[in-house]
Structures are given as C-alpha cells and as structure tokens.
C-alpha cells in the first residue's frame, strides 16, 4: 500500500529541485554587485520572486553593512562563496576581516565566535550543516545560552548560529537530521526556522539584531526555492518578530501546525484536502521554535477543534510532542478529536530513495492523516 506513494514524493522532490534551476541565473546576477542590487530594490515596486538563498544573502549583506560589530565566519564562507552559496559575494564586498574562512574545526571556531560575542562583537557563526554543529553543541548550549543567566545578567552573548538543518536528499543518516527539538529545549536560546524567502530574510535579520544567542535553522532544499517577496520585505529595515507564528492559510476545519520545509508540504496537502474533500485546513507556519507562539496555535485550535502537527524531526520528545502537550494544557476543552502528529520516522535516515521517502512526512502522509483525523 505504501509503495506506490513513494514515487510521488520522490518525483516531486526532483521536480522541485529542477524547477529552482531557472532562478539560479537570477541569483548570480543579483548577487555579484550588491550595491547595484540594493539600488535596484529602491526603484522597483511590487512583490518580486526571490529565492531563500538570495533572501538570506540579502539579510547578511544588510546586517554586515549596517553593523560593524557583525562578521561571519565558518567553513568555506568566504573564498568558496559558501558551501551552499548563501554567502556569495560577501567576501568581495566586506573583505577578509569580516567574512572569514575557518578550518574544519567546529568546536574551535564556534567557541571562538562565542568568545568574541562575550567580548562584545556580534558574530554570525555558519555551520556547513547543523549535523556538524554537534561537534560544537557544548559551546552553543553551555557557553552561549547559559552565560547570561549564570552571570546574573552582566555578560550577554549576541551571536547568531545558522546553517542548513533537517531533511536533505540522499545524504543518509549523518547528514540529514532535524535539531529543532534539541535547541528548542534550551532556556537562553532563541530558535527560528524559516520557510519562505520573507521568513528567511526577516528572521535572519531579527536573529542577528537580537542581543541573545539565536539559532537559525535553515533547510538546504529550500535554498533554491523562489517565493514572492513583498515590497516591504525587500527593504533593508524588514525584520520579523521572533516568537510569532504566521497563518499561511486560514481555515476552519483543522489546524496544521508546522515549520520549515514541512510548511510547503502542508500547504500542498491543505490544497489537496480542499480539492478532495472540501475541507478547509488552517496552516500555521511556526517560524519560531523558541519562543513558541502558543497563543496563535491555541486560538486556531479553538476555532477548528482539531490539531495536527507536521514536522521532519524524530517523533520522540520533538516539536510535535511539545505542541501536543501544550494543546492538552491550554486547549483540551476545545479539542473535538485527539490531536495527532506527522513526523520523521524513528530511524536513522536511510540512503536509498524509497526508504528515505518512508522516513519523512510526504504530502500524502499529511493528507491521509488529516482525513483520518477528520473521519473523511
């Protein structure tokens, strides 16, 4: 029963990667002379298609431009222009003092960045992927997140940790893991997970400006995806509040709470639910894992009476588990059915495409689970 389904998500994955290709030339031309680009934005009007990669690049450019205390360091961020090209053009524009290639030494450069933050700078520490940040997680948690509290508030640590997190295609278990729940559980950290280009720009800028350590969990598969970016979001003063979710699609029958790449999948699933069953699902893009926008979730739950979480992390002790627990605490009386979750499977991510697809939520998994919840 499961096997025919497998082809669809895999094919969709492939097509989404291909479809991002036409945007690549845009990336290249838009990125190189950054001054020209920002001038371009000032004169153009209306929404514009921007890839997540470009939006992140724009956020970095603007913050590096406006704050001399800000610098970015990480593996291959400078001369190579970023392993995923997020930092393309930054070295040329800001020079090697502020765009710094590090050796492969996560604990070392992450610790160094945290130390620089303790000493008053505002570092942006890029991990090639968050899988590698496990080498440095002690510095993120014990040194960055806790020092302000342990010092009684006299020692702040303004640092941003960023990089791709979560599901990536065909890279197996060590390179495809979601750390939202890991960082989301730590007091002292803020954690955001952008989905769209606006999310990416607004949340990354907010993270850099926030005086606390903030973890920005991006997703590799979203980098090449283009989204409409409003005129307001194209400006250099655009920031999104950390801790505020966004209702991406209003609905009255079911609340789907999701984050990062699963937002797109959930929106597609919601469209299918509408088409197939005439059901209106409300899709909430969390944007921020910590603090979590409990209010938006509960308000929606009060309206729909049904809750489903969709995420790509492991099922146990995860973001979904937390939201389900919160729904019990704050919204039990409004639930008309037990809340459900669609998550990554409890398995180290397998390499083979078919098995990999079985390990992560697919659009039909979401649709199927929603239909079951709604007894359709």
Partner 1 sequence: MLPRTLRPKGTLSPIQLRGPSGLNCRFLAHVANIEDIPTEDDKPFSVPIPDGSFETYHFHPPPSSLETTKQQLKQLYHDMTMVRRMETAADSLYKDRKIRGFCHLSTGQEAVAVGIEHAITRDDKLITAYRSHGFTLMRGGTVKSIIAELLGRQGGISYGKGGSMHMFCESFFGGNGIVGASVPLGAGIAFAQQYNEKPNVTINLFGDGAANQGQVHEAFNLAKLWNLPVIFGCENNKYGMGTSADRASAMTDYYKRAQYIPGLRVNGMDVLAVLSAVRHGKEYVQAGNGPLLYEYTTYRFAGHSMSDPGTAYRSREELKAERTNDPISNLRENLIDWAVFTEAQAKEIDESVRKKIAEQVAEAEKSPEPELKAEVLFQDIYVRGSEPSQRRGRTIDETYYPG
Residues 306-365 that bind partner 1 (CB under 8 A): 329-330
Catalytic residue check, 148:
no
Residue 79 in the binding site for partner 1 (CB under 8 A): no
Give CA–CA dist 20/223, Å, rounded: 9
> How many residues of this chain interact with partner 1, rule: CB under 8 A?
46
Q: Residue 289 phi/psi, 5° resolution?
A: -85, -35
Closest CA to 246 of 290, 201, 282, 209: 282
Q: Which of residues 179-208 bind partner 1 (CB under 8 A)?
A: 187-188, 190
Q: Is 134 exposed, middle or buried (0-12, 13-18, 19+ CB in 10 A)?
A: middle
Choosing from 48, 85, 88, 148, the residue that interacts with partner 1 (CB under 8 A) is 148
For residue 375, give the 3-state DSSP assignment.
coil
Q: For residue 119, state whether it binds partner 1 (rule: CB under 8 A).
A: yes
Among 44, 49, 138, 231, binds partner 1 (CB under 8 A): 138
Q: How far is the CB of 287 from partner 1 (least distance, A)?
A: 14
Q: Which of 63, 75, 106, 198 is catalytic?
A: 106
Residue 106 catalytic?
A: yes
Task: Using the minimum distance from each CB to partner 1, give the nearer residue, 74 or 224.
Answer: 74
Least distance in Å: CB of 151 to partner 1? 4
Member of 4, 25, 46, 153 binding partner 1 (CB under 8 A)? 153
Rounded Cα distance between 333 and 335, Å, is: 6
The whole-angstrom separation of Cα 333 and Cα 254 is: 15
CB of 292 to partner 1, least distance (A): 9
Which of 15, 29, 105, 230 touches partner 1 by CB under 8 A? 105
CB count in 10 Å sphere of residue 335: 16
For 283: left if phi > 0, alpha if psi spans -120 to 50, otherwise beta; the answer is: beta
Q: CA–CA separation, 121 vs 115, rounded Å?
A: 9
Q: What residues make contact with partner 1 under the rule CB under 8 A?
A: 71, 97, 102-103, 105, 107-121, 138-139, 142-143, 147-156, 187-188, 190, 210-212, 243, 290-291, 294, 329-330
List active site positions. 106, 175
């Amino acid at each position: 029963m499961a096997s025919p389904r497998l082809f669809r998500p895999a094919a969709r994955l492939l097509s989404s990667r291909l479809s991002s290709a036409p945007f690549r030339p845009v990336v290249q031309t838009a990125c190189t002379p950054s001054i020209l680009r920002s001038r371009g934005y000032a004169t153009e009007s209306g929404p514009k298609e921007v890839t997540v990669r470009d939006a992140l690049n724009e956020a970095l450019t603007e913050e590096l431009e406006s704050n001399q205390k800000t610098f970015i360091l990480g593996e291959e961020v400078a001369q190579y222009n970023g392993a995923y090209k997020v930092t393309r053009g930054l070295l040329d524009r800001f020079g090697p003092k502020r765009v710094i290639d590090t050796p492969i030494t996560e604990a070392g450069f992450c610790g160094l960045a945290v130390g620089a933050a303790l000493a008053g700078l505002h570092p942006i520490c890029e991990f090639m992927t968050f899988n590698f940040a496990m080498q440095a997680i002690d510095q993120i948690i014990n040194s960055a997140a806790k020092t302000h509290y342990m010092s009684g508030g006299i020692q702040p640590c303004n640092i941003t940790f960023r990089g791709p997190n979560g599901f990536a295609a065909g890279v197996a278990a060590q390179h495809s893991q979601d750390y939202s729940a890991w960082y989301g559980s730590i007091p002292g950290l803020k954690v955001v997970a952008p989905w769209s280009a606006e999310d990416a720009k607004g949340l990354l800028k907010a993270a850099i400006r926030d005086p606390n350590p903030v973890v920005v969990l991006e997703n590799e598969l979203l980098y090449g995806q283009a989204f409409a970016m409003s005129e307001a979001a194209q400006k250099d003063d655009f920031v999104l509040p950390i801790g505020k979710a966004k209702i991406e699609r209003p609905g009255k029958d079911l609340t789907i709470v999701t984050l990062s790449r699963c937002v797109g999948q959930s929106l597609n699933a919601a469209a299918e639910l509408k088409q197939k069953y005439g059901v209106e699902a409300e899709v909430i893009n969390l944007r921020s894992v910590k603090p979590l926008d409990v209010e938006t979730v509960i308000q929606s739950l009060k309206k729909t009476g049904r809750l489903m979480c969709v995420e790509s992390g492991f099922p146990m002790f995860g973001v979904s588990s937390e939201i389900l627990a919160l729904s019990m605490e704050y919204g039990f009386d409004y639930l008309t059915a037990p809340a459900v979750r669609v998550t990554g499977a409890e398995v180290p991510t397998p390499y083979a495409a078919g098995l990999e697809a079985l390990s992560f939520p697919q659009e039909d998994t979401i649709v199927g689970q929603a239909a079951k919840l709604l007894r359709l």
